[in-house]
Homo-oligomer: A and B are copies of this chain.
Amino acid sequence: MDIKEIARIIGFEYSGKSFEVSGINTLKDASSNEISFVTNPKYFKDVEDSKAGAIIVSSHTASSVPSSSIALIVDEPYLMMAKLSKYFAPPIEDIDAPKAQIGEGTNVSQKAEIASGTVVGKNCTIMAGVYIGSNCVIGDNTILYPNVVVYRDCKIGSDCIIHANTTIGSDGFGFATNKMGEHTKIYQNGNVVIEDDVEIGSATTIDRAVFKTTLIKKGVRIDNLVQIGHNCEIGEYAVLVSQTGLAGSSKLGRNVVMGGQSATSGHLEVAAFNTFAARSGITKSIKESGGTFAGFPLMEHKLWLKLQGKLARLIK
């Protein structure tokens, strides 16, 4: 899509030279043929170093845009990015891709559907009602139980087990809201990557990234009815007990254990080998390893027990 067309869509007068824009990306990751945007003050500092071909900004951030980038100045940068995201969304199925390839020894139910461009490894079991979208890659020996849905462009490793009615790669919960309170969808053009030896329970949902990848690393164990938001990253051998909810861009280190019905708010990092009791609510990054926490607001488990003791005394 030409930069002139983009400028026209977001209502910015642009008379510079034409070039083809291949996509939208974050300030840090955008290359010279991509555009980016800034709206969260937390990321203002990244504007100067961005290699994006153009950056959607409001007038008071425009001066930070480096000379290598075009500043696309608008009133509501986030809303304009949302509007544009639609134009970079791939179709639901890639009808031009070659027929799916199925490895030796793999058993695909006649009631399953595997879309074009997808490659399934050896000795897999793809059961009735499974849908795998276009251009996915599935490793060897992986089992998809009935009615598992995998959206396009996702990758699942070898030796994985995904239980019934689970959804991998549905759209992250993203939209921009205008001053009237009306929402515009931010198309989620990233994917989900699940590494080897991961087991995922039934009716769990793992959203695709808005840009890039939602990542589930090797050996992770995820229970039933767990929600994993877009752009999360789950470290090796982490354990997510049933009904846990991870908001977008949560990063959990290796062997982190989330108890049942626990949760994170988004955009935070948890160091390896931390354990969270059931119903914990994590709202800030945790930089040290090996702790045990509980409660919402979160505190050390020992303190939480002490607090409950104090509260019990209050009502005696």
Contact = CB atoms under 8 A, between A and B. Distances in A.
A265 B242 contact: no
Contacts of A151: 145, 164
Interface in A134-150: 143, 145-147, 149
A23 B30 CA distance: 56
Nearest to A239: B183
A263 B243 CA distance: 10
Interface in A144-192: 145-147, 149, 151, 161, 163-167, 170-171, 173, 175, 177, 181-183, 185
Contacts of A129: 113, 129, 131, 147, 149
Interface in A111-140: 111, 113, 125, 127-129, 131
Nearest to A175: B221
Interface size class of A (residues with CB under 8 A): 35 or more
A180 to B, nearest CB: 8
A193 interface: no
Given A167-B165, A311-B307, A261 B263 contact: yes
B173 A201 contact: yes
A260 B263 contact: yes
A273 B181 CA distance: 9
Interface stretch (A41-49, A55-63, A68-76, A222-230): A222-230
B260 A247 contact: yes
